[in-house]
Structure 1
Amino acid sequence: MNFFYFAYGSNMLALRLQKRCPSAVFVESATAEGYAVNFSKLGRDASGKGALFEKQKSTALGVVFEIAKSDLKSLDKAEGVWFGYDRRTDFEVVTNSGETIETTTYLPPKMDIQLQPFGWYLALVVAGAIENGLPQDYINKLKSTPYQIDENQNRPSRLDALETLKSTGHSNWQDLFTSPRAS
């Protein structure tokens, strides 16, 4: 049995998600009406992580994947269920083809707008948005998000992210922010 998952942060990058959930298969880009994305969820490393929150007259962009139920426990662990995210299994999104579907996603119960993501984490989000053909204005908005440099060069999550980015053709994560922007 499978479920649909709405990714709006670093899990938009297919390889990142497939390392966590090997059964994950891209379905379609989608939008969540009445929601927006920022990076105000406190991560275990004290940096900001992707946060989906209610905001009238807004639309959050993301990607729908189909995942085997057997990978749900691994996804919960990666997302830190009960450590900063709550799993929602009835989250409606509208796919690019116009279909409304019920997905699983993760929402933070509290946020801190002072937080900033590490650059390597934000690079995963930007790479996922590019990989899935999200609109250039959205990609540019992501690229303009303030971020912090991770001083811990040996942080396992940083090393894994850099390896994932390299495997998807981004050998220098900072290049994702200096590439040309749409005018």
Structure 2
Amino acid sequence: MSFYYFAYGSNMNPARMQARGLAFSAAESARLPGYRLAFNKRSHCTPGVAYANVVHSSYGAVEGVLYALANQDALNIMDGFEGTPVRYSRECMAVQTATGAKSAWIYVANPAYVEAGLLPESNYLNHLLAGAAHLSSEYLVMLQAQACRPAVQLLGDKGLLYNA
């Protein structure tokens, strides 16, 4: 059985996945139709800072990286990093790839943690940009144009937890 995970946020950076100890056997480009990317998931530790989220949009599509994870244990580990089930819920959705539709696990911000008017920090946005090989040029330009806050220096492995 395959365990697919669709990353649209900081986990588009394969180095971040590896730093978190999340082994994957393959990574490919994928799109989540019917949604758009939003930076509206409130940080748990820094006021005014946003993390990525997906929100319904009839004409939108979120681009990202589809990882083939090793097993269910990898998803359980991922839950810890995403703050599931409190900050994000893990949902199974269909994503489109070059070889057709695949079912994948996707993290969606819980409504209690969604807030308008937030901005991602530049270091967080850089994780998204690290997935450039899996993104269309138009989507990459959209990410590069995203307004952001200056990065705050993180100590230790704090940056690995809860999308910090």
Q: Please, what TM-score do these two structures have when normalized by structure 2?
A: 0.85
Shift of 1:154: 3.9
Counterparts of 1:84-99 in structure 2 under 5 Å? 84-88=87-91, 90-97=92-99, 99=100
In 1, Cα distance between the equivalents of 2:33 and 2:17? Answer: 23
Measured against aligned partners, the alpha-carbon deviations of 1:13-59 in whole angstroms (never above 9, x if no partner) come to 11111222432233321111100112110122332001011111111
Measured against aligned partners, the alpha-carbon deviations of 1:125-175 in whole angstroms (never above 9, x if no partner) come to 1112x133x111111110111111134x24445776xxxxxxxxxxxxxxx
Pick aligned residue for 1:48 from 41, 47, 50: 50
| Structure whose residues are more often strand by fraction | 2
**Residue 106 of structure 2: aligned partner:** 105
**Residue 24 of structure 1: aligned partner:** 24
Would the aligned equivalents of 1:87 and 1:104 in 2 still touch at CA under 8 Å? yes
Tell me how many residue pairs correspond in the alignment. 155
Amino acid at match of 2:86: F
In 1, Cα distance between the equivalents of 2:123 and 2:31? Answer: 24
Say whether residues 1:12 and 2:12 are aligned partners: yes
Amino acid at match of 1:109: N
SS at the partner of 1:76?
helix
Amino acid at match of 1:16: R
RMSD: 1.9
Structure 2 gaps of 5+ residues are none
Shift of 1:86: 0.5
Say whether residues 1:118 and 2:148 are aligned partners: no
In 1, Cα distance between the equivalents of 2:143 and 2:17? Answer: 19
Say whether residues 1:140 and 2:157 are aligned partners: no
Would the aligned equivalents of 2:13 and 2:128 in 1 still touch at CA under 8 Å? yes
In 2, Cα distance between the equivalents of 1:4 and 1:80? Answer: 19
**Residue 83 of structure 2: aligned partner:** 80
Would the aligned equivalents of 1:43 and 1:84 in 2 still touch at CA under 8 Å? no
**Residue 170 of structure 1: aligned partner:** none
In 2, Cα distance between the equivalents of 1:80 and 1:147? Answer: 23
Amino acid at match of 1:119: S
Compared CA separation, residues 28 and 150, structure 1 to 2 (3 A)? closer
| Structure whose residues are more often helix by fraction | 1
| Max Rg structure | 1
Relative CO higher for 1 or 2, CA cutoff 8 Å, sep ≥ 6? 2
